[in-house]
Amino acid sequence: MTTAVGSARSFGSMGPARLLRIELRRNTMIWMLPLLAVAFWFDCYHWVSADTPVWYPRAAELLDHELRDFSAFTAGVAAWVATRDSRRRTLDMVTSTPRPGWARLGATWVATTGWVLAAYLACVAVVYGVTAAKVTWGGPPWWPAAVCAVALVAVSAVGFAAGLFCPSRFTAPLVAILTLLLSSAIRSTSPYAMLWPTTNASPGNTGGLPVAPADAGVFYHVLPDLPIAQIMVLGGIGLAALGVVGLSRPAAGGPRPAIGGRWLRGAAAAVTVAGLAAAGTAAGLTGTARQGAYGVVIPALHDAASDRPIPYTPVCEYDGTVPVCLHPAYRAYLDVVTAAAAPLLREMAGLPGAPVRVAEVPSDVLTSTDDSNSTVWWAAGSAITGTPPVFRFPMPQFPPGPAGLTQLTEDVQEILAVTFVSDERLIPPGTDPGDGVQAQAAVELALLRPFDPQAGQDVGIMTPSSDAPSPEVAAAAGRFAALPAAARHAWLADHLGALRAGQVTLAELP
Amino acid sequence: MTAAGVRNPPGVLRPRSARFRTAAGLRLAWLYLASRRVPTALVALAACGALLRAALEWHWIAGPDPGAQQVPLLLEAGTASVIAVTAYSPFGEPERITGRWLPWLRVGTAVALTGAAVGMLAAGAAAAQLPDGNLAVLRNVAGTTGIGLLAAGVIGGALAWIGPMAYVVASEYALLARWTTPWVWPVRPPHDRGAAICAALVFTAGVAVAAARGARDPG
């Protein structure tokens, strides 16, 4: 008799672990792992490998690509495994077992989610490992990885609940496709849209969408406000879904749960309410979000310490013209930027306002965004300021590979030329510089033509229907470029102030 | 007393009337469609059409970026997934042995549901302009359904939705990476002959596998 009681106790303590072990060994998600690995390699890994070797842009690919791919399959398979008892016609059999439905179904869900998280963490390890081998400064940001993990848990819970309550053969595919739709296609200017991490956000939306600068985590910390709200919402939704599973008497707990039915249902109700409260609170807080210069700010979650710049020692190069200094995170591009700026700096040497130093500055989302058409102006945030003058510029965005380095070279040259020749601060407010802008554009073109024959496409002088500069501007640029270097230099020395202020017309150019 | 009367009971060998055969055929078809949950599938396809309508109405499909093209593509994959899981049979071996008309029923169901899916998506896009038009819908739905039917033959009808889902994930990457291979037909223009041929080949292969083998389901 004593022995029998001991065995029963032993069975009771070992039961959940054994059940979980069985579920882990026989879970459908195991068969999905090769597919998830292929999806990771095919999508996320390719984007990560192509990104600038800076921590945050690469980590953000987890949200943009990894979450989108994994969430669809996770939700679909979770819905599929939840329909197992209905599919196998074993519902009556399992509801009569001496275990509450929550514990039995919980083992299935934990096994499914556990396999997804294991696969996801392996992918995170690959992404961060590859990135660690490439970056020249900083450490890994953990918020994107945490948000992605919580999102996977949430979609797994919601998919599981959907499969449990709608045990149809169509539930899994529909849940999967809806998840993919949510991840890929939802566009909205509402601040609530950014609660789903993969939401496509256009720069410049005034709804407080998550526009992070390209150099997030370099000069300033990645603001944790939005990730905290996302974790609260997604975690809350996941908790609520699991709570609802515990509350479902007919399908999950059986008509009369044998062990602790009332107690468990009370706990399930508490979990549901807690989850909904967390999600509702975070959604409410997100409604107060505003776009800050370096990310989304949610006042109630904002820590002022996050606004402090990250200390760093710039890396500099001097090729005999002007020293060029970049943030150490961009050390790999120091040679390219120096080589790009040097010939223009030589041309500018001795002119009024010619920079004596080049320094990289942080990108500012607010100043680089044009509200009128929601596009980022590539030269925004650049300026020649200070005494002696320093050319300050945020690192432009450029694609990977050799083509990207070519574009970086062209962008640096164009930004430098435009910043040197045009200065909107010198134009009195409310006045139309008119032809003065055309003259500035012609001089910019003349400065850039030796290095970039296509420069006219980017200096802001395009005719409305063409990428080419207007014939008048092109003619003036050609005329100015044809001058001897000494004559050009002398004219600029005399007229640069007026040119910058928009007081020189095309006809007045030599 | 002989057994002649038992072997040939009067009336049994009388030829069936055409009306009886039609009624029996219709009943057989209806039972097949019901066993595959085709009525529910039609509701799900209609829901995909309605979702496309909503996406057009609320401008989810707008702008020049490749992401805008993903909504129709995802809904096309959704309809293909729904069609693929109708291949699941709850009867297994007994049906395969006794179902003389099974291949025709499978082919008819797959083709009819594909037509219905294209029709419902086209209806959802009516009075609006899809980025690639209805011809692309036809090509994409047919090709992706072929993948779903092939997946049903390999991994089973109930999990056949994984095929179209995996394909659409690959297509999304191809859209963003600007691939041009005709085997990823969603990235090609609607009048591209190579993409149409590839999609038609995959659809034909899927229907052929579905007709010959059905879904690979236990039982």
Q: What is the pLDDT of residues B191-208, one digit of tens each?
A: 899 999 999 999 999 999
DSSP tag of A469: B
A306 or A170, higher pLDDT: A170
Structure tokens belonging to residue A194? 């950014």
User: How far is the alpha carbon of A82 from chain B, nearest alpha carbon, in Å?
Assistant: 13
Report CB contact under 8 Å: B158, A87.
yes
- Are both A399 and A467 inside the same structural domain? yes
For residue A319, pLDDT beyond 60: yes
Q: How confident is the model at residue A429 (pLDDT cuts 50, 70, 90)?
A: low
Contacts of B82 in chain A (CB under 8 A): 170, 173-174
Q: In DSSP terms, which residues pair with A370 in a beta bridge?
A: A375
The string of pLDDT tens digits covering residues A271-317 is: 999 999 999 999 999 888 887 777 888 999 988 888 888 999 999 98
Report CB contact under 8 Å: A43, B172.
yes
Report CB contact under 8 Å: A177, B170.
no
Q: What is the ipTM of this complex?
A: 0.86
Facing A173 at nearest CB: one of B37, B59, B82: B82
Report CB contact under 8 Å: B165, A72.
yes
Question: Is residue A340 packed enough to be buried (19+ CB in 10 Å), middle (13-18) or exposed (0-12)?
Answer: buried
Distance CA A184, CA B5 (A): 71
User: If you measure CA to CA, which chain B residue comes closest to A68?
Assistant: B169
Give the pLDDT mean for A19-45: 90
- Are both A341 and A416 inside the same structural domain? yes
Report CB contact under 8 Å: B169, A32.
no
The string of pLDDT tens digits covering residues A73-89 is: 999 999 999 988 887 77
Three-class HEC string of A204-237: CCCCCCCCCCCCCCCCECCCCHHHHHHHHHHHHH
The Cα-based distances of A440 to A424, A446, A456, A508 in angstroms read 11, 10, 12, 11
In the A/B pair of chains, how many CB contacts fall below 8 A?
Answer: 95
Smallest CA-to-CA distance from B153 within B98, B208, B109 is with B208
For residue A92, pLDDT beyond 60: yes
For residue A352, pLDDT beyond 90: no
pLDDT at A249: 59
Report CB contact under 8 Å: B67, A170.
no
pLDDT at B201: 97
pLDDT at A277: 96
- Are both A243 and A359 inside the same structural domain? no
In a mutagenesis test of the B interface, which of A177, A183, A188, A202 is the best target, namely the one with the most B β-carbons within 10 Å?
A177
CB-based contact, B159 to chain A, within 8 Å: yes
In a mutagenesis test of the B interface, which of A29, A74, A187, A198 is the best target, namely the one with the most B β-carbons within 10 Å?
A187
Range of the domain at A448: 315-508
Give the pLDDT mean for A106-127: 94
| A contact set with B (CB within 8 A) | 28, 32, 35, 38-39, 42-43, 46, 68-69, 72-73, 76, 80, 87, 168-170, 172-174, 176-177, 180-181, 184-187, 200
A468 or B134, higher pLDDT: B134
User: How far is the alpha carbon of A205 from chain B, nearest alpha carbon, in Å?
Assistant: 14
A158 or A509, higher pLDDT: A158
- Are both A60 and A147 inside the same structural domain? yes
Contacts of A170 in chain B (CB under 8 A): 37, 40-41, 44, 82, 85
Of A289, A307, A325, which one is at a domain's C-terminal end?
A307
Radius of gyration of chain B measured on its C-alpha atoms: 21
CA A234 to chain CA centroid, Å, is 18
Classify A296 as helix, strand or coil: strand
- Are both A31 and A88 inside the same structural domain? yes
Facing B44 at nearest CB: one of A170, A180, A181: A170
For residue A327, pLDDT beyond 90: yes
User: How far is the alpha carbon of B65 from chain A, nearest alpha carbon, in Å?
Assistant: 11
Report CB contact under 8 Å: B78, A174.
yes
CB-based contact, B41 to chain A, within 8 Å: yes
Question: Is the model's pTM score more than 0.90?
Answer: no
Contacts of B145 in chain A (CB under 8 A): none
Contacts of A35 in chain B (CB under 8 A): 162, 166
Residue B155 contacts residue B162 (beta carbons within 8 Å)? yes
Determine the length of chain A.
Answer: 510
The Cα-based distances of B150 to A36, A76, B45, B87, B154 in angstroms read 20, 19, 20, 10, 6
- Are both A222 and A150 inside the same structural domain? yes
CB-based contact, B78 to chain A, within 8 Å: yes
Mean pLDDT by 10 residues, chain B (219 residues): 53 67 86 90 94 82 60 91 90 75 90 95 83 86 96 90 92 82 90 94 95 78
Distance CA A503, CA A119 (A): 63
Domain residue ranges of chain B, discontinuous segments joined by +:
40-212
User: How far is the alpha carbon of B92 from chain A, nearest alpha carbon, in Å?
Assistant: 14
In a mutagenesis test of the A interface, which of B69, B147, B162 is the best target, namely the one with the most A β-carbons within 10 Å?
B162
User: If you measure CA to CA, which chain B residue comes closest to A167?
Assistant: B158
User: How far is the alpha carbon of A126 from chain B, nearest alpha carbon, in Å?
Assistant: 19
Contacts of B158 in chain A (CB under 8 A): 80, 87, 169, 172
Facing A185 at nearest CB: one of B44, B70, B88: B70
User: If you measure CA to CA, which chain A residue comes closest to B35?
Assistant: A169
Report CB contact under 8 Å: A168, B37.
yes
CATH code, domain carrying A353:
1.10.390
Structure tokens belonging to residue A462? 């395009």
Classify A314 as helix, strand or coil: coil
Number of compact structural domains in chain A: 2
Average pLDDT, chain A: 81
